[in-house]
Structure 1
């Protein structure tokens, strides 16, 4: 992450939250959506998630029923045992991990259930999806800890 755009990205992201919000609220969605796949690829050509893993260290994905079924099968445990061991229900009524970091995150920042990880993990950080524009609060939060979201927002706001 030694590229100039990524230098001091955490500080810059904090300083630029109002700019990001304004951009996300007042833009041509179709124009932005068409740019997301390329910007997503560009961001991940410069950022190695294994060097960061802030998402896995500090936040939890939602574990939906299909995720619970799939992961339980992989771990060879009953769904109820998986839920009791690893999950809790959050204020929104979703299953999330009991604590952070994620219990499936290894010391090398690799996920022990990567092939079967929850759909939220597969999709994160949503930089190639309409979620980036539709869930502004989530995007702003994600930009504060994920360099890929910061990168995509910086590129988008520079293009205006």
Structure 2
């Protein structure tokens, strides 16, 4: 599905994204995966692209794709994915994430949406604005990195 402003329309897969996309959010409790492509004026990219998978049941993916094609799995690919995770899919289907070198991941999900907006968007998502995504403050120090804790195993 393509979401543009308040309009939603069905689109066919495969969908090809000729730009870098990075894993932006993984909302575990609601089974959602969000990829985002940020604007990059040096590369001629003035828009923000988001790709959202909803009702995710299984996944195998990278955190970054320099170019991405999303398509439905072939029957053979779907069988291999089911063999790896035999839980019932119910109303989900397998989407294959494909790079120039071939299939490189999959998402078993109920739906896929994508949208494009001009300019930078900030940290919130325009496809899932109802979620308050975590904001990382670069001016605050991160958690300290303590060394490993060695506790002897109790002997009897």
Shorter-chain TM-score: which interval? under 0.3
State TM-score, norm by structure 2.
Answer: 0.25
Please state which structure has a larger fraction of its residues in strand: 2
State TM-score, norm by structure 1.
Answer: 0.25
Please state which structure has a larger fraction of its residues in helix: 1
Greater RCO (CA < 8 Å, at least 6 residues apart): 1
Q: Which has the larger radius of gyration?
A: 2
